Structure 1
């Protein structure tokens, strides 16, 4: 059963505020959402006209004017080029990357050089993908200022758009560009930042046509032929139909390839709320649509969705060592071996199709795979034993990942195929560390792990390289998704195809915090959620399926942390609850 939550004690609310810092004052319920978005409504982002250099401007004034001119909105860099020498202006490429700085110190002149000292900054690559913080030694931009036609001008500008974080938050939006996994079975989202405004559809298509971001190459594939560009723009008519004119030399496209191209475009463009369908031409010829339709709905490619098939309302858990399953508020014991009275399950993960489960039993020292429901023809199979195993995790292709939490020497295991044998996979930043938990994305190309350290737990991310036959061949260099902040993280789960939720006790047994963060580690310009939950929380359940509630899990209930709705566990007290995956 589900019900609205009662009011909490005033003392607990006051404590929640004290411990959460930036979290706003709770108003009702034991689960309180601290609203949070890092993005201001772009309708408040007024136009900014860049000012050209004044006659007789000093070196410092020229440098400051150049920085100010790069904040022109809508984006244009023609005025910024006026602060450069003719030679520098001809070679300047501000589209190479974007530098986002939080603040800067007053510029300093030394001989013919003007130094711009940034206090902290992050960068995006040429497509708009997040590339993390700039190292401290690189935070100083030394600009050589010389005399050109009787005026001071910059001779060596950085090939970047350099803008303040406050400006960026108001005007850029994190979106996903959609590519395919190597087997073209599921779409893989690649998060990037694009400018908001009337040209959102054009920005999305242009970015998609640029191909995968550099760090995703070799991991994803695109069926949009290379060398194509979008026409002057992507107009959206009054009926919500986007007209995408692709221009450039391209080989003849088969109907199968056209369907995959349309899937990429549809999933990318559906992020523009004004678009409901698209029409696509390739060098003036209509791209063939399935069934001879005249337009392609942005919902037509749901079968390729990055979260895979299935709804977000079926959950699986453990009650008294037995597997339970059902819709929210309707859990029942399962009929398979893991639902038996002597199952002894301590953690479990159900495959995204809901057919099989991987369970850890024998006090955490054995991993078995079995069907969720009774099936006499498929006995349980032991895939690992003798370790200290965390909750397993599945991707949509049925690959099973298991973390062995050996003291200070974690091992990552992978089981592929129906009858696959477990093998070790070396994951830099996770293997050989004090890793505590691990989760893989539904598309199978990303994994994230919680790694314990002296300064608290950090979240490490790595990309997974999948070979042509669907087998994992390697993992790429890790990145820091969430640096340590002194706290421990007791649970994590994918809340969307590009975001993860983290559960961290701020006062064990009394208060915990749920933070939703970007899986690429982006910290500026992303939607953010920070939520305080009260009481003895056992875990956090979430799913990349769009309509799946995020749940704080207690022994006797589980609570939607956004809608503040509660579901009773009834006669099945819980020790774990999760969605498939």
Structure 2
């Protein structure tokens, strides 16, 4: 993931490509033939460039060893689970569909033997138990889940070979959380937002659709196949693909890999034969954005081919950026916050601690502010009055007047009034009014005009914070209910009402921090990633990154300064985090420690 404008940041996906070594999962080879069956412990962490393979069943293995060996084999890097299938009967192997889903447990699955009668000496049953943590479905989409897992595995003694084999088992794959983290990698597929206007210059707006693929089992090909099949179910209503319906890799294509010039050639089936040049370029741009960080050096050029092998089109990174707006439209020029005089100020570039009031009434005037949001083009800003009652939108031009309020809250206390506003990529302004008598989420087209009340049919609680993604089709909300706060991601649906005005609603809200009892602050920190400040039940405050699907991205969480109340990040991941903490405004650059900018300051924001 990266930003458009200053060159994209390469985030190496170490371990996606095969290294030079291999490790055998030997746990099953040392299993006893009898005794209590132990849980499958997650495989110790390996060198990320090492392929891990499982051991096939030993001759005359007992039922316990067969179950244990099969579960170990599910965590290996066999492309088609060839070794795992050796633990199954021929019929069970034909029926088993490992690609249907991956169930992730907090720890490895624990097989519990079931009671059998004395007469039944040729069959055994085991219940696989554990605590559910997540599920990856057939579309590769990740969903956090909870509750108890319990599915049955049945074994039979093959009368021809006199060997125990599994003849009945649950569909899909099951493994522990640490094995999942070793086996899978998160990848952003990219599609085009279908219900927001094109960006300035006519660029289409891209939206990230994160999925999980097996990291060492031809991740490039798996990712391309997933991209061609279209957006995941959650995103599909607000995203579109330029690839025609029914498109797939060409006949006989089993593996894709870039050449030594980082060019990837993708043969397609006959559904692409009549695609025009414009559509083909849009297809190629989706591929480039999707694959840019998947290989160690990145894919920098894509060539698409027809079913007869002729070239359909070719695209490089610079041309892809002309076609589509990827991430932020441009790199932000400034970081902003409210200083000790309650003015909106901005920090100079290159890590400078020098700040100046913004031009216009929000920086030069006498109106005191409690929060502000700067439009993504940095030409306008919205400010919330110090009492939280009034919202203003002012051009960032010297001498620009404050003007009239664009929205007023009637809440009786400051905490029951307006939240910090947020701008989407199309220039519309979003804010929540926390008035208990009239709680509402509001959108103002281009920051002006009659406020549009946004429908929130799935909302259960009160909105405490609002952040809209740059793509304009996803929104992050901190929602409070019964004294607990959660981070929820919703889909922005836009239609035209009977009166000709936009009808906007938030649907398919889902919690992406189920493990946190309290969420204090959040901000978008990438195309599909947010930075979150919160705490678990009985725990201390912590800062972490979280994906919009609720998964935890690979890598270390940022250190948390003391007493963080607000956090600001940019979709451009090269830019530092900025926070309001007990030490005032502090900044965290990559590879550094938190540094204090100024003691007297609050409400840090990046454009957006």
Partner of 1:257: 279
Alignment match, 2:451: 422
Cα deviation digits, residues 527-575 of structure 1 (max 9, x gap): 34141314x65532211113211122357643225423646449xx422
What is the CA–CA distance in structure 1 between the aligned matches of 2:211 and 2:438, rounded to whole Å? 34
The CA deviation string for residues 101-131 of structure 1, in whole angstroms up to 9 with x for no partner, is: 2223242123453211123342101132112
Tell whether 2:138 aligns with 1:109. Answer: no
Q: Is residue 462 of structure 1 aligned with residue 487 of structure 2? A: no
Would the alpha carbon gap of residues 378 and 342 (structure 1) be closer, same or farther in structure 2, given more than 3 Å must change?
closer
2-structure distance, mates of 1:358, 1:135? 43
Aligned partner of 1:160 in structure 2 is 172
Give the one of 153, 157, 162 matched to 1:143.
Answer: 153
How do residues 297-376 of structure 1 correspond to structure 2 at under 5 angstroms?
297=317, 300-301=320-321, 304-319=324-339, 320-328=341-349, 329=352, 330-361=354-385, 363-374=387-398
Structure 2 CA distance, aligned partners of 1:317 and 1:96?
Answer: 48
- 1:194 paired residue number: 213
Cα distance in 2 for partners of 1:434, 1:377 equals 33
CA distance in 2, matches of 1:67, 1:557: 50
Deviation at 1:493, TM superposition (A): 0.8
Shift of 1:177: 0.6
Change (3 A) 1:277 1:288: closer
SS at match of 2:533: strand
Give the superposed CA RMSD. Answer: 3.2
1:122 to 131, 134, 137: 134
Please name the residue that 2:510 is paired with.
Answer: 479
Instruction: Give distance in 1, aligned partners of 2:496 and 2:271.
Output: 27
Report how far residue 157 of structure 1 moved. Answer: 2.3
| CA distance in structure 2 between the aligned counterparts of 1:337 and 1:567, rounded to whole angstroms | 27
Closer, same or farther: CA 186–149 of 1 in aligned 2, 3 Å: farther
From the superposition, tell whether residues 122 and 198 of structure 1 become closer, same or farther in structure 2 (CA, over 3 Å). closer
Is the contact between residue 370 and residue 381 of structure 1 (CA under 8 Å) also seen in structure 2? no
Q: How far apart, in 2, do the equivalents of 1:557 and 1:566 lie?
A: 9
Q: What SS is found at the alignment partner of 1:529?
A: coil
Mapped partners of 2:210, 2:388: distance in 1: 36
- How far the C-alpha of 1:378 sits from its partner, in A, is 10
Q: CA deviation at 1:526?
A: 3.3
Report the counterpart of residue 528 of structure 2 in structure 1. Answer: 498
Question: Contact 1:434/1:451 (CA < 8 Å) preserved in 2?
Answer: yes
Of residues 48, 54, 62, the one that matches 2:53 is: 48
Between the aligned partners of 1:87 and 1:195, the Cα distance in structure 2 is: 26
Aligned twin of 1:25? none
Question: What does the per-residue CA deviation read over 1:165-202, in whole Å, with 9 as the maximum and x for residues that have no partner?
Answer: 22222222111111110056211111111122372322
Give the Cα separation in 2 of the matches to 1:167 and 1:519: 22
User: C-alpha displacement at 1:467, in angstroms?
Assistant: 4.6
Question: Would the alpha carbon gap of residues 468 and 154 (structure 1) be closer, same or farther in structure 2, given more than 3 Å must change?
Answer: farther
Q: Distance in 1 between matches of 2:522 and 2:437?
A: 20
Q: Distance in 2 between matches of 1:429 and 1:40?
A: 40
* Residue of structure 2 aligned with 1:532, choices 541, 557, 560: 560
1:206 equivalent to 2:225? Answer yes
Aligned runs of 1:211-250 on 2, under 5 Å?
Answer: 211-230=230-249, 231-250=253-272
For the 8 Å contact 1:266–1:301, the answer to whether it is kept is no
Structure 1 residues 205 and 107, CA gap change in structure 2 (3 angstroms) = same
1:270 maps to which of 285, 292, 307: 292
Structure 1 gaps, min length 5: 1-38, 290-294
Pairwise mapping of residues 539-550 of structure 1 onto structure 2 (< 5 A)? 539-550=566-577
- Distance, in Å, in 2 between the alignment partners of 1:556 and 1:121 is 37
- Cα gap change, 1:462 to 1:264, in 2 (>3 Å): same
**Take 2:542 and 2:441, find their aligned partners in 1: how far apart are those partners?**
28
Q: Are the aligned partners of 1:428 and 1:477 in contact in 2 as well (CA < 8 Å)? A: no
Q: Give the drift of 1:47.
A: 2.5
Matches for 1:544-563 after TM superposition, within 5 Å: 544-553=571-580, 557-560=585-588, 562=590, 563=592
1:143–1:156 contact (8 Å) kept in structure 2? yes
The equivalent of 2:316 in structure 1 is 296
CA shift digits 1:384-412 (9 cap, x unpaired): 43240110111101222211223497422
TM-score, L = length of structure 2 = 0.78
Report the count of equivalent residues: 525
Structure 2 partner of 1:26: none
Distance 2:318 2:292 in 1: 6
Q: Which residue of 1 aligns with 2:99?
A: 95
Could you say if the C-alpha distance between residues 156 and 476 of structure 1 is closer, same or farther in structure 2, counting changes exceeding 3 Å? farther
Contact 1:189/1:306, CA 8 A, preserved across alignment: no
- Are the aligned partners of 1:455 and 1:485 in contact in 2 as well (CA < 8 Å)? no
How far residue 270 of structure 1 moved from its aligned partner, in angstroms, is 0.5
Supply the distance in 1 between the matched residues of 2:404 and 2:347 (Cα, whole angstroms): 21
